[in-house]
Amino acid sequence: MSNQKSRWMRIISLSFIICQFSVSLVAAQEDPVVMVVNGIPVPRSEFEYSYNKNNTEGVIDKKTVEEYVDLFINYKLKVCAALDAKYDTLSSFKAEFAQYRDQQLLPAMVTDDDMEAEAHRIYDETVQRIGPDGLIQTAHILLRVQQQGTPEELAAAKVRIDSIYNALKQGADFSELAKRLSQDPGSARQGGLLPFAQRGQFVKEFEDAAFALKDSGEVSPIVQSPFGFHIIQLRGRKMLEPFEFHHKSILQFIEQRGLRDRIATQKVDSIVKAGNKTKEEVMEQVATDMSAKDNEMKYLIQEYHDGLLLYEISNQLVWDKAAKDEAGLAQYFKKNKKKYAWDKPRYKGMAFHVKEQADVKAVKDCVKKLPFDQWAEKLRTTFNADSVIRIRVEKGIFKEGDNALVDSLVFKKDTTVNHLKDYPIDDVFGKLLKKGPEDYTDVRGLVVADYQEMLEQQWVAELRRKYTFKVDEEVLQTVNKH
């Protein structure tokens, strides 16, 4: 009997293993591996997510699937290099990644039930805050008086408000008088009408008089507040409408004020307290759970994770390195000088404007023995260091059409030069470069970009030699076609 039981247990276990294998096989068929990079399989869904996101209809340089493969492989290889270099262990990386990840996860943690509970809480708090006096709608006529106004100004305003009040008592239309005479322009356009309000939303003097009114249309005596003199008319009184009436607007309020994140943060705090876990541990679990259910979320989080790694390693090995490698930039420019030749001459120098003729020579003498990149600072400290600005300068490498003064004095063009007010004397100083830039600093931006591109190509070639990768061409043909 025991042998038979053991046999049945083995059969049941084998059936379970076969079932699990079948489920995995179905999943693999639904999302097959499109490539393997450094031993890590890339499912078709991940490649599709990246391709579709970077090749939307609005993209200028749109790629075909086949063209995108190499770009995607290069991207993955760079991430492998960053992981090997332990960039993901840096505290700065961890903090920035966690911040972005949580920005994506927190709103998604909030359920419809959470939103409803928050909406009810806001409504109930509002009802309690409004209290038994409810809401009132008033209109008012305001004559402004400065709090520090003179007795004469106060008396003049009092005479005017008294005459308005007397006109109202004799039957004048409140709205018409408010439109013509009230000095509160926002409400005056509406005949003095103010929105429904609760206690605490007006200054005390106005509030006491307004809430003392009983019947719609009733007009208060003249009220003096820090803003001036008011005459108040009650237009309506009500209690807050039922929750259902405000339901939609409360939900919109929650979204507009970013309260969804607050709700999610409160949920996380509750989990932390209840489970004796850190916030980071909770958010890691939330990320794992959501990623298992939602590929879009999984790949969005992974995209930012890998993108941060890519930025850090690219900045160190390519972007920042190229920008700071002065010797490398100079050497690259020397080898590729013909690439930066100009079709027309350029003027490397400055157009300047001074108040006195003596400063023309002084300006030129100030910089003539200095490197070009030091001119600006030397001119500033020599001529404009104090509150008196002695010169105005436009410095650069000018082609025809860039600067009217340079066009006139250097390129000998018939053009109109608009003289600067208070700086009547104009001149230029520099040199005409006929064959092209003197050195890489004259075209630094272009040289840096090209040098970065060269370093990038060298780096990618090195990564392709270092790491293995293989594309399944059959699966690739099914991208966006299944």
DSSP symbols for 79-130: HHHHHHTTGGG-HHHHHHHHHHHHHHHHHHH--HHHHHHHHHHHHHHHHHHH
Q: What is the per-residue pLDDT for 21? A: 36
What per-residue confidence (pLDDT) applies to 446? 96
pLDDT band at 29 (very low <50, low <70, confident <90, very high): low
pLDDT in tens, 295-309: 999 999 999 999 999
- Please give the distance of CA 154 from its chain centroid, rounded to a whole number: 50
- Report pLDDT for 276: 81
CB-based contact 435:339 (threshold 8 Å): no
Q: What is the pLDDT of residues 429-438, one digit of tens each?
A: 999 999 899 9
Asked if the model's pLDDT at residue 425 lies above 90, the reply is yes
Indicate if the pLDDT at residue 386 is higher than 90.
no
Nearest 5°: the CA angle 431, 434, 435 is 125
DSSP codes, 429-467: EEEEESSS-SSGGGGHHHHHHHHHHHHHHHHHHHHHHHS
- With a cut of 50, say whether residue 102 has pLDDT above it: yes
Q: Please give the pLDDT value at position 1.
A: 46
pLDDT at 118 over 80: yes
Would you say 480 and 48 are in contact if contact means Cβ atoms under 8 Å apart?
A: yes
pLDDT interval class at 147 (50, 70, 90) = confident
Would the pLDDT of 368 be above 50? yes
Q: What average pLDDT is seen over the chain? A: 92
Residues 6 or more apart in contact with residue 128 via CB below 8 angstroms: none
Handedness of CA 91, 96, 98, 99 (dihedral sign): positive
| Cβ atoms of residues 349 and 395 within 8 Å | yes
Q: How many residues does the chain have?
A: 482
Contacts of 303 (CB under 8 A, 6+ apart): 49, 50, 53
| pLDDT(22) > 50 | no
Closest CA to 421 of 398, 396, 383, 389: 389
Mean pLDDT of 108-133: 95
> What is the reported pLDDT for 58?
81
Q: How far apart are CA 213 and CA 205, in angstroms?
A: 13
Query: Predicted confidence band at 335 (pLDDT cuts at 50, 70, 90)?
Result: very high
Digit-coded pLDDT (tens) for 464-478 = 999 999 999 999 999
For 174-218, the pLDDT digits (tens) are 999 999 999 999 999 999 999 999 999 999 999 999 999 999 999
What is the average per-residue pLDDT within 7-20? 40
| Tokens 């209840």 belong to residue | 274
pTM above 0.75, yes or no: no
Which pLDDT belongs to residue 237? 95
Is the torsion defined by CA of 333, 334, 335, 341 positive or negative? positive
**Structural contact between residues 332 and 449, judged by C-beta atoms closer than 8 angstroms:** no
The pLDDT > 90 percentage for the chain reads 88
Quick one: pLDDT at residue 282? 93
The whole-number average pLDDT for the span 143-171 is 93
Q: What tokens were used for 123?
A: 């409504």
What pLDDT does residue 59 have?
82
List, for residues 258-268, the tens digit of each pLDDT value: 899 899 999 99
